[in-house]
Amino acid sequence: MKALVFEKFGGPEVLQYKDIPDPIIKEKELLVRMKVIGLNFADIYRRKGNYHLVGTPPYILGYEGSGIVEQVGKDTTKYKVGDRVGFADVPFANAELVAVPEERAIPLPEKISFETASSVLLQGLTAQYLTKDSYEIKDGDTILIHAAAGGVGQNLIQICKQLGGKVIGLTSSVEKSKTALSLGADHVFLYKEEWAQKVKEVTDGLGVNVVYDSVGSTLKSSFEALIIGGTVVFFGMSGGNPDPVDPRMLMDTSKTLTGGDLWNVLTSYEERKARSLQLFDWITKGKLKITKPTIFRLENGSKAHLLLESRKSIGKILLKP
């Protein structure tokens, strides 16, 4: 089969499209012929060597995608050949064929296209657990969302609005702010502004109930924008590592810092299925809109990485074998 691989860490130029052996599935695995693969910042971190990778080169990136079951292991019971499935946490997805553990496969309703599934699963499930498990959004809450025009940010805006929240977004450009506003954000500020102060101004000097911070280096300012007794949910560091947080500050202001990681939530087949079906229901009912993705052929994966790394893209970037 063909796959997008790399043998040394570095820039997009290290990616190679080449033939490698087909995966051999185990008793409780599915062999899935990939239709669409989701590209995420985690792929860039792994390509650069910022995330630990097990095994030896050549490495294969990708954890999210969708396709058709081509073969089933002898002990599988939930799927058959020809079923449409997606996944959000299966490695080696940047290939024509992927071995998918049965419990990690997510059934796709007929109304959900492969493109939609691969655009929403990882980022949509992330936004869902952030608003339900990390901090449960309540009617009347005011929410600050970092990287509001990004994949997770776009989902967060719409889910928070559904739940009765008032949303303030942060973006890096005017163009991206327009995207956040079009999805329902009540206010959007730019990072180059004194945004923590502006957040205070539009919240009567109080601050927001919760901040969803995926940037990391902004953590100190996130606390400044927070109401007394509020919560910062730290779930990413696209802008670099955060400065240490003073526990005394947390005590004096009754503020909370909590972390979030999708892999601590997707703990069973039942969890994956129930949470993804909620996402799909929102999409089919028009409550969650997915921005049109940018699609590259898998063989042009280096160009896709270059675009994502430039931070100029709006919406999901997908790869097609």
pLDDT digits (tens, 9 = 90+) for 182-207: 999 999 999 999 999 999 999 999 99
**Residue 320: which pLDDT band, with cuts at 50, 70 and 90?**
very high
pLDDT digits (tens, 9 = 90+) for 65-94: 999 999 999 999 999 999 999 999 999 999
Residue 282, pLDDT score: 95
**Residue 10: which pLDDT band, with cuts at 50, 70 and 90?**
very high
Q: What is the CATH number of the domain that holds 96?
A: 3.90.180.10
Q: What is the CATH number of the domain that holds 178?
A: 3.40.50.720
Domain tally, the chain = 2
| CB neighbour burial string for 250-269, b if at least 16 within 10 angstroms, e if fewer | eeeeebebeebebeebbeee
Residue 311 pLDDT > 80: no
In a domain, 132, yes or no: no
**Residue 180: which pLDDT band, with cuts at 50, 70 and 90?**
very high
The domain boundary residue, chosen from 219, 235, 259 = 259
Residue 241 pLDDT > 90: no
In a domain, 126, yes or no: no
Residue 240, pLDDT score: 82
In a domain, 125, yes or no: no
Residue 238, pLDDT score: 81
Cα separation, 187 vs 198, in Å, equals: 10
Residue 297, pLDDT score: 98
In a domain, 133, yes or no: no
Range of the domain at 99: 2-120+264-320
- Answer yes or no: do 303 and 282 share one domain: yes
Cα separation, 122 vs 57, in Å, equals: 25
- Answer yes or no: do 96 and 165 share one domain: no
Residue 60, pLDDT score: 95
- Answer yes or no: do 188 and 277 share one domain: no
pLDDT digits (tens, 9 = 90+) for 158-176: 999 999 999 999 999 999 9
Residue 38, pLDDT score: 97
Residue 53, pLDDT score: 75
**Residue 239: which pLDDT band, with cuts at 50, 70 and 90?**
confident
- Answer yes or no: do 94 and 45 share one domain: yes
In this prediction, residues 245-269 reach a mean pLDDT of 95
Dump the DSSP string for 249-318: HHHHHT-EEEE--GGGT--SHHHHHHHHHHHHHHHHTTSS--PPPEEEEGGGHHHHHHHHHHT---S-EE
Cα separation, 302 vs 296, in Å, equals: 10
Range from 21-25, 48-52, 135-139 carrying the lowest mean pLDDT:
48-52
Q: What is the mean pLDDT of the chain?
A: 95
Phi, psi of 267 (to 5 degrees): -100, -5
In a domain, 209, yes or no: yes
- Answer yes or no: do 173 and 242 share one domain: yes
Conformational region of residue 183, where left means phi above 0, alpha means psi within -120 to 50, and beta covers everything else: alpha
